Structure 1
Amino acid sequence: MTPHKEDYLKVIVELGGTNELVNNKQIGKALSVSPASVTEMSSKLLKEGYISHIPYQGVQITEKGLLIANKLIRKHRLWEVFLADKLGFDWTEVHEEAELLEHVSSDFLIDRLDAYLGFPKYDPHGGVIPDKDGRIEESASQPMTELSVGRRFVIKEVDDDDQEFLAYLLEKNVKLGVPYLLTAIEDYEGPYTFIAQNQESFQISYKAAGKIFVQ
């Protein structure tokens, strides 16, 4: 399995390809490659049984492909934990470094890294870390936009694809694992206002709330 193929499988999973069809345009945009390149790689992955395909609609990951993708995601997320917890990187900095490290790490090294880190369950953005067999637990979290005023919640995960969004949350000091109370939602997709237990108040945009997953 080449790093290039691994990247394709991983991005299909990240785009929701475990439960729905993902089209070439979505894949090309995510990987910054041409439609022709996506078509060529999809043909290879289809022949090898890593994806399924419905003409003119898109592709979906197979169980075989999902295990490969999740093992790569495991490597990526464990490196993110190491960079954040051991080297002091903030959550806007870990993604690009982990992208480089994930492809040059053997399974043996990753197993040792996992043990060294104390077998973490989540990455710095709250993403669930797959186990060594490529299996991953389903998350029970929901988008913050599904909450109503008066609900208490804890942020479990944030979308890590947008570095500007992560910087936005970092600047506002919004954190994972902290109890909050939603106090107001302004009409017409206005901002969400919430408070922490120490009465510190926070306000974020509707768009940002859609990228935050809570319990």
Structure 2
Amino acid sequence: MKEDYLKIIFELGGSHKKVSNKDISLGLGIAAGSVTEMVSKLADEQLVVHEPYAGISLTPKGEKYAAELVRKHRLWETFLVDKLHYNFADVHQEAEVLEHQTSDRLATALDNFLQHPKACPHGGVIPSASGEFPEVSRVLLADAKDGEKVTLERFLDNHELLTYLEELQLRPGDEVTVVRHEPFEGPLVIKKAGADQPINVSYKASHNIFIRADK
């Protein structure tokens, strides 16, 4: 579905930079060939710009559409977790259905009811009704250096990923130290602040977690 592609490009920073086919593929868990085909269709609809060997970015039209989808999706996720006490990892699919049935009026009412949350339970910023959103980290956990101390800031909105990270007991806001990158697309070894045992985070998951460096 094209909306899923627009949302993942938005999440990966496609409003401000070029996003690679590989990152979209990892984020959606879809083969690179399928990504190329859909990106071509989005470009035909003037929702993205695709520069071969450089990457993909959202057009103003694509960004407006994506921000609207993301806003409604994340408001529902926040409602489901905060008010209906859904599990952290289980809200994505429910919100996926609800976002498409949500009018702008309902989104505004939901935002008011929730007292204008800034981020969803997975750390993703919630755009305003006008489509504005603050700049967020675009740095992946996979790109952190060995020995670096970082804070997990947000997770890509993917049910499989969120279930996996919940099993590892990782949440946005956790402070971790990067121990080492295992070679040949092996796991990233990290250690949570105050924990004794290291945690192995898969190669794919480490490309779906955004961080900020601790100062």
| TM-score, normalised by the number of residues in structure 2 | 0.74
Conservation of the 8 A alpha-carbon contact between 1:141 and 1:156:
no
2:152 aligned with 1:164: no
2:98 alignment partner, one of 101, 107, 113:
101
Conservation of the 8 A alpha-carbon contact between 2:12 and 2:138:
no
2:68 aligned with 1:71: yes
Give the superposition deviation at 1:86. Answer: 1.2
| TM-score, normalised by the number of residues in structure 1 | 0.74
CA distance in 1, matches of 2:50, 2:3: 18
| Aligned positions of 1:1-215 closer than 5 A | 9-14=6-11, 17-18=14-15, 19-20=17-18, 29=30, 42-43=43-44, 45-46=45-46, 50-52=47-49, 60-140=57-137, 142-145=139-142, 146-149=144-147, 151-161=148-158, 163-180=159-176, 182=177, 184-185=179-180, 187-188=182-183, 189-197=186-194, 199-207=195-203, 208-215=205-212
Taking structure 1 as reference, are residues 67 and 173 closer, same or farther at Cα in structure 2, changes over 3 Å only?
same
Identity of aligned residues (%): 35
Taking structure 1 as reference, are residues 42 and 105 closer, same or farther at Cα in structure 2, changes over 3 Å only?
same
Aligned residues: 201
Give the superposition deviation at 1:55. Answer: 8.5
Superposed CA offset, 1:36-71 (max 9, x none): 88766653x23xxx4446699986421132112201
* Structure number with higher relative contact order (C-alpha < 8 Å, ≥ 6 residues apart): 2
Gaps of 5+ in 1: none
Conservation of the 8 A alpha-carbon contact between 2:2 and 2:42:
yes
Give the superposition deviation at 1:108. Answer: 1.4
Conservation of the 8 A alpha-carbon contact between 1:53 and 1:60:
yes
Give the superposition deviation at 1:96. Answer: 1.0
CA distance in 2, matches of 1:193, 1:57: 31
Conservation of the 8 A alpha-carbon contact between 1:153 and 1:179:
yes
CA distance in 1, matches of 2:156, 2:129: 23
Gaps of 5+ in 2: none
Give the superposition deviation at 1:9. Answer: 4.1
Give the superposition deviation at 1:5. Answer: 6.7
Give the superposition deviation at 1:104. Answer: 1.1
Conservation of the 8 A alpha-carbon contact between 2:81 and 2:87:
yes
CA distance in 2, matches of 1:21, 1:139: 15
